[in-house]
A and B are shown apart, each in its own frame.
Chain A
Amino acid sequence: MHLSGLDLLFWAAGLIGHVCLLFVLLIRGRARLFPMFTALITLNVLRTVLLFCIRLYSTRYAYFYTYWGLAILDVAIQLFVVYELATKVFRPQEKWASYSRKGLIWWVLVSIFLAAALTSIPKPPTNLWAQVLFIKGSFFSSALLSELFVGMMILSVTEHLPWRTHVARISQGLGFYSLTTVLIEAAITYFGLKSGTGAYQKLTHIRMIIYLGCVAFWIIMLWRRASTAREMTDQMRRELSAIQTAATKTVEALRSRREV
């Protein structure tokens, strides 16, 4: 299988970028705080190496199935990363506030519905049904992830919940990437794969440039020290837990009343 100079450059840049980021996560102790994000970056390192070897030494089929199998795993881990970030913002004291959890569940359901509705509209020009599935799957995941990040931002601002420095930086990177991929995936859906892969390859290169920019952003931001926050005392934790328990009961009591 032939690889152009540009393909090799992106491959090498992706591998170097991910290895550097993984190094930062481990050396600076961020892996302990963000295990899912670390798993995502580790997967990307392994994926880059594995796909490169398969592309050089194996068949198109092996490449095809490995690529999409790992892409599905990548999206699944990205969803876990969203959950991980949400717990840091909406469950700062190991306990979800009931209103935050319900708000988030609603937002997730609305996001899935919206992403599915958008994905169901077009019929991308392709030769194989599998290509339709993959184009639609990619668009769905990018639309869903971008909605989830925007939703988290809206809920946290509405509830006056602060974002700690590193949580904010990871979210900004992933949120920006997801948002831009909505446009790229929409363009891929428009051009399709029926009349060749030229447009697909160009759009993939644009997506990789954006992603590499995000990786560079994470390397710098996660290397930097976060603003120091003083630890809560045990008494403060107990008080907060009691308040949240009381609030949950109050909210339930309010909801059980007859409405006007």
Chain B
Amino acid sequence: MSTDMRLFLLAVGVFFLALVASILYYYRRSRKIADATWEQLLRRLIFIDRSGVEEIALDAVDEYGVRRTDDHAMELEADQIWTLIGGMDGLKAIEHNSQVLVEMAAYVQKWHPEALVTAEALRLSAREIEWHVERLKAGVQTGNVEHWFANYAQNAVTNYYLMTRQLLNLYEKGNFPMRGDLARALQA
């Protein structure tokens, strides 16, 4: 057997196994998401101090979620935001929880298609949070995080805060019985 044929068979073997492994991994992941019970979703939420989140978010947006333009907007300094949210660990928890919130919206969407609109909005917010946190993680690696922390962290936290309110609003409007559990888990 020639060398190029040996290399080809080896490459095809690796390629095939990689595809099969990806299918199995993502199939299991999709089943896990689809079969998740409400209690499992609740348990996946990581504890985040709500008062800290609220303080950071309301420094940037008003109670209706509209960006503030008054003289006292965006007054928090980077070190204050760092302390209130618990540094990078807190932001990673926010990134994780934002994904769980999307799944919680998708959970009620199974029976209530009107939840699709909120689920889509949450999905996009979660993506934005992921983007901000990724930038900060990159900043930590390059040692250039101080300058950008306030901006990216506040945007991520504000998005998360608005996500929690959107989700609670969805559960409240739909009069879903899980609303109480959700409010307790989010300390809202």
Contacts and interface: CB of A to CB of B under 8 A. Distances in A.
Interface of A: 97, 99, 114, 118, 121-123, 143, 146-147, 150, 153-154, 156-157, 159-160, 162, 175, 179, 182-183, 186, 189-190, 229-233, 236, 239-240, 243-244, 247, 250-251, 254, 259-260
Residue of B12, B102, B116, B138 with most partner-chain A CB within 10 A:
B12
B22 A150 contact: yes
A28 B49 CA distance: 54
Contact of A153 (B23, B124, B152): B23
Contact of A122 (B8, B29, B106, B121): B8
A93 to B, nearest CB: 8
B26 A114 contact: no
Say whether chain A's binding surface is mostly helix, strand, loop, or mixed. helix
Say whether chain B's binding surface is mostly helix, strand, loop, or mixed. helix
Contact of A230 (B16, B29, B103, B113): B113
B124 A189 contact: no
Nearest to B12: A186
B117 interface: yes
Interface of B: 2, 4-5, 7-9, 11-12, 15-16, 19-20, 22-23, 26-27, 29-30, 33, 102-103, 106, 113-114, 116-117, 119-121, 123-124, 127-128, 131, 135-136, 138-139, 142, 144-145, 148, 152
Contacts of B136: 260
B20 A260 contact: no
Contact of A243 (B7, B29, B33, B124): B124
Nearest to B135: A260
A68 B180 CA distance: 64
A170 B88 CA distance: 43
Contacts of A153: 22-23, 26-27, 30
Nearest to A163: B30
Contacts of A97: 120, 124
Given A179-B19, A240-B116, A247-B124, A260 B139 contact: yes
A121 B8 CA distance: 6
26 contacts: A99-B127, A114-B15, A118-B8, A121-B4, A122-B5, A143-B15, A160-B119, A179-B19, A179-B20, A182-B15, A182-B16, A183-B16, A186-B8, A186-B9, A186-B12, A190-B5, A236-B113, A236-B114, A236-B116, A243-B117, A243-B121, A244-B120, A244-B124, A250-B128, A251-B127, A260-B144
